[in-house]
A = this chain, B = another copy of it.
Amino acid sequence: MYRRSFLTGMFALGVGCLDPVDADAQADLLPSWNDGMPRRALLDFITRTTTAGSPDYIPVEQRIAVFDNDGTLWSEQPVYFQVAFAIDRVRQLAPSHPEWQTQAPFKSILAGDMAGLAAAGDKGLLEVIAATHAGLTTEAFTQIVKDWLASARHPRFNRPYTDLVYQPMLEMIALLQGNTFKTFIVSGGGVEFMRAWTERVYGIPPEQVIGSSGVVKFEMPQPDKPVLMKEPKVEFIDDGPGKPVGVNRFIGRRPVFAFGNSDGDQQMLEWTAAGAGLRFMGLVHHTDGVREYSYDRQSRIGRLDKALDEANRRKWTVVDMKHDWKAIYPFQLK
């Protein structure tokens, strides 16, 4: 997957640096996008902001593009993939935790009762995250995530979770990178969970991944052999109004381009939109129940309601997956 992203990026680099996106070159760009409004808006934005002398020109160092992850760059159904990871890890750790057999919400997980887990709400989920994401070093955790990704399969598609990234979004990231936009992930997901694979899959390095985090502590169990221990305590939730806060903390510069898919991305898009000059705000609308999933205003996961109203009111770009994307996943490419 990284190979594809890389090659597309190299191609975009050739076009983008010597001569910004123009009409002749456009036919070959973003091949998995149908020629609708979102594709045109994106190409128009890149042309106007990267062409020297354009009134909308944006200097290279200000070309900050931020992307939500779950539901924007990869799927998030039937549960956030990080929750699938946590569930598998509860099952794996259960032999050492006999108390979980009777203790909610672990009991529900071990009984395969997903409704029971859902009923435990955010509080229950945070308990599960704490139990499965803490008490080990940052490096051990990264290895566990990598091992899980190598073996776990998505229940519907029967493929590794990292196969379920959106091909059109990989093309968009590569095109932006090729035009010297610096691409960041800004996700409610755990930062260390994402960093284990985002460089390989998206070509986005760890230092450009912003997410929720737990407290980490520096310890020296043996002389000259320090470790960073993950503690079972939430430090920062990078969601909703936390997203512009995370952007400010990690990037320190207002983005000029932001893409999300849910109400949790609304404030990040608002913050981006409030900058001076031409800005791009986009939402992925999950309209394709056949090739992916169809959900929006009523969904518990990835609800898109208020942000959709705001996008319509303010003429932000809304991607209709069913109509705008020729392919959803890389494995669907011919």
Contacts and interface: CB of A to CB of B under 8 A. Distances in A.
Interface of A: 61, 64, 138, 182, 191-192, 195, 199, 205-209, 213, 216-218, 220, 224-226, 228, 241-242, 244-245, 248-253, 267, 270-271, 273-274, 314
Contacts of A271: 218, 226, 228
A252 B195 contact: yes
Contact of A267 (B61, B208, B218, B314): B218
Nearest to A219: B241
Contact of A245 (B207, B208, B228, B245): B228
B245 A206 contact: no
Given A199-B61, A218-B271, A267-B226, A206 B244 contact: no
A314 B192 CA distance: 31
B267 A245 contact: no
B244 A218 contact: yes
Given A192-B252, A213-B249, A216-B248, A314 B224 contact: yes
A68 B195 CA distance: 24
Given A61-B199, A64-B207, 11 more contacts: A191-B249, A206-B253, A207-B252, A216-B248, A218-B267, A224-B314, A225-B274, A226-B267, A228-B248, A228-B271, A250-B250
In order of increasing CB-CB distance, the 6 nearest A-B pairs are A206-B252, A218-B241, A195-B252, A207-B251, A206-B253, A218-B244
B270 A226 contact: yes
9 contacts: A64-B207, A191-B249, A191-B252, A206-B251, A207-B207, A218-B271, A224-B270, A224-B314, A226-B270
Contacts of A207: 64, 182, 207-208, 250-253
B61 A226 contact: no
A164 B18 CA distance: 39
Contacts of A192: 252
Given A207-B253, A251-B207, A252-B207, A245 B226 contact: no
A209 B253 CA distance: 11
A14 to B, nearest CB: 19
A64 B273 CA distance: 32
A226 B314 CA distance: 15
Contacts of A314: 224
A7 to B, nearest CB: 18
A251 B209 CA distance: 8
Nearest to A61: B205
A53 to B, nearest CB: 23
